[in-house]
Amino acid sequence: MRNYLTEFIGTFFLVLVIALTGNPIAIGSVLMVMVYMGGHTSGAHYNPAITFAIFIRKKIKGKEAIMYMIFQLLGATIAAFTYYFIFAKTFAPAPAAGFSNNIKPLLVEMLFTFALASVVLNVGTSKKTFGNSYYGIAIGFTVLAAAFAGGPISGGAYNPAVGAGPIIVDFILSGHSMCNLWIYLVGPFVGAAVGAVVYKYVNPDEFE
């Protein structure tokens, strides 16, 4: 239960900072410190797509992966409700004007989640980097760069919980963002899966 609670807390603060600031530096920074906070307890996924990649990597079992995803989604949803409580309005990621109902935001979500999964797998699960002290910085800066680069196109979620939690809350409170949900589910999960497959190909010795 401790690892599930850690996943809830980390995802909650990640989504809350996204909602309150939308600032890539703040987002990358809070992810970095939350990764250091929970890495030794849960592995600090805070992202169902990353949990999926680590499942493919065979570093987490299926039942536990599902529980991680549930608590990540709960953390994101409670964070979205917290934002609503503070400001009496909802927020939800959405593609930028001109990119709605378009394959381009999906591609951006896929590519940068691939990058994030690749970084996490290499700095957080590899025998070659075991015990390093820079894993949190590497992961946080990946999200920071992705938010700056792809955020203006796709909304910059790269995380099914970041997409689904706020969109669910927005939908419950009479919003109209549900049409974007598929982008933040399909893109990150596919990108993470490809990242895990590439990791296995590049590091065959890790699976001997």
Average pLDDT, the chain: 95
- Outline where 125-206 has alpha helix (H): 135-154, 160-172, 181-202
Place of tokens 């906070």: 37
Nearest to 161 by CA among 90, 99, 78: 78
Q: Is the separation of the CB atoms in 13 and 29 below 8 Å?
A: no
Span 124-146, pLDDT tens digits: 999 899 889 999 999 999 999 99
Place of tokens 């699976």: 207
Q: Is the separation of the CB atoms in 95 and 151 below 8 Å?
A: no
- CATH architecture, domain defined by 2-207: Up-down Bundle (1.20)
H or E stretch at 107: helix 103-124
- The residues of the chain scoring below 70 in pLDDT are 101, 208
For the chain, the distance separating the N- and C-terminal CA atoms, rounded to the nearest angstrom, is 31
Share of the chain above pLDDT 70, in %: 99
Cβ contacts of 39 within 8 Å, gap of 6 or more: 124, 135, 136
Ranges of each domain in the chain: 2-207
| The CA-based dihedral angle spanning residues 125, 118, 28, 108, taken in that order and rounded to the nearest 10 degrees | -150
- Per-residue pLDDT, 177: 87
- Per-residue pLDDT, 98: 82
d(CA 89, CA 138): 33
Q: Following DSSP, what letter does each residue of 54-82 receive, concatenated?
A: HHHTTSS-HHHHHHHHHHHHHHHHHHHHH
What tokens does 74 get?
């709960």
- Per-residue pLDDT, 208: 60
- Per-residue pLDDT, 138: 97
Whole-model pTM: value is 0.95
